[in-house]
Structure 1
Amino acid sequence: MSFNKEDARGVKQPHNDPLVIMLTIEGFNTKRILVDNGSSADIIYLPAFQQLKLDLGRLRHFDSPLVSFSGDRLTRQLDFLVVDCPSSYNVIIGRPTLNRWKSAISTYCLKVKFPKENDVGEVKGDQVLARKCYQAVLAAKENHTYTIEEKEEDKIETLETVELVKGEATKTTRIGMTLSPEMRAGLVQFLKENLNVFAWSYEDMPSISPKVIQHKLNVNPERKPVQQKRRVFAPERNKAITDDFNYCW
């Protein structure tokens, strides 16, 4: 079994996406299956087990800790550990199954290959779904840090808005509300005395080189320009577009 350029066709490169596939389990097309050769067990999460409407009598107690785990038709009987904990995946295919299948994995091609009787079978990964699952994992970790643990050092300090130029609501900044009255007064005075370091508008930043940042249209100069038809908007939208255009120029 080998992988070539054709196996990577359709995969957006470069990437560091996990290998997420779909398999048929108990007659149901089951998505969000993570192929993880770092897992020492094949795992199915309890919500997926319940949605498959499997017989609870098939469960057997497993008294052992789990450490650090967070195409072609293929018919195999697998034994899963049913785990009751939150996860963005339904199933994890680990080393036991991968070794039983005598499979080869390419995370670059996002593909699993395995020998068949007279051929080589393959299962392609779903890159879009893999990214959604990964984003869900990150979101869950972020929520856990700031809402579940609620450690003192993780709490976000409340800020107050301070007007630096009297009567000009646009020239403001925000400072923490846990400062002592003396420190707050000193900080506000310091900020007011150094108003010249603030950039309140684009005109206040004339010395920035275009090499740092600039806006340009990504167009092909060799192509003939095509004028689009005039689009008509509601009066309030027309006013908003005109105001925004005038502001930019």
Structure 2
Amino acid sequence: MYEHCFGLLPGAIRTKLIAPSTALLGFSEESAWPIGIIELELELVDDDNKELVRSTIVEFVVVRSYLKYNALLGRTTLQKLAAIPSTVYGLIKFPTPLGIKMIRSETQDASVAAVEQAEKQPSEEEQLRSCMIIANPRYPDQKIKIGGGLSDETKFKLRNILASNTYVFAWKEADMTGVPREIAKHKLNANPSMTPVCQKKCGMVLERSEWLKAEVDKLVKANILREVRYQTWVANPVLVKKLDGSWRMYVDFTDINKASPKDNYPLPKM
């Protein structure tokens, strides 16, 4: 196995395949059972003078796949080589005793596509002039942004598609009914040994209080919030003014966050 597009020249070290012990799980949760595991000597050849600059032993998992690449290098191998790949420009850089070396892809499809995409980018004036459309005439203030570089025919078809499918969008709070509780329900895993915290009530001026009450009524009617008679955890709402002068409502969940268990390996290390 080798990745021809990056000029990798391997030689077999362990010629016999070792039976795998686990299946491979993809990003879309599909599973595939590998054919076996084999060790290969990975040799990196510099493109400029065609000299061997690095070599290392890599363990490959052999699978049946229709990918255009013969081999894929994982993060473990890249970290072992201290290599930095770039899929946009089709190259990889890595340190060697002779300095920093670079391997280029034999095909420049990725770099050419990136250049063509940059040349096709519409001007800022064109984007501002034609990227906002009204899909639902009942809500003219709620516009939908589309690409300004689209052709007139494509824009016309896109407007018709959006106008004929306005029911899939949430135009008001009552439309955001969410997923039924019998299908999915989320629960906060608060530590039961922690004593519930009832924050001291924070007063608001009349204007903010009236706006907050109206906003909560909308969420209750949309079945997003529901009234609780006997509260355990109580947190104050917080209003933050947006750029357009309106308000955005938040909730101070500081105490609940302290009582929630923490991941041993939070993102991005998990």
Give the alignment's TM-score, normalised by structure 1. 0.32
Using CA pairs below 8 Å that are at least 6 residues apart, which structure has the higher relative contact order? Answer: 1
Give the alignment's TM-score, normalised by structure 2. 0.30
- Which structure has greater helix proportion? 1
- Which structure has greater strand proportion? 2
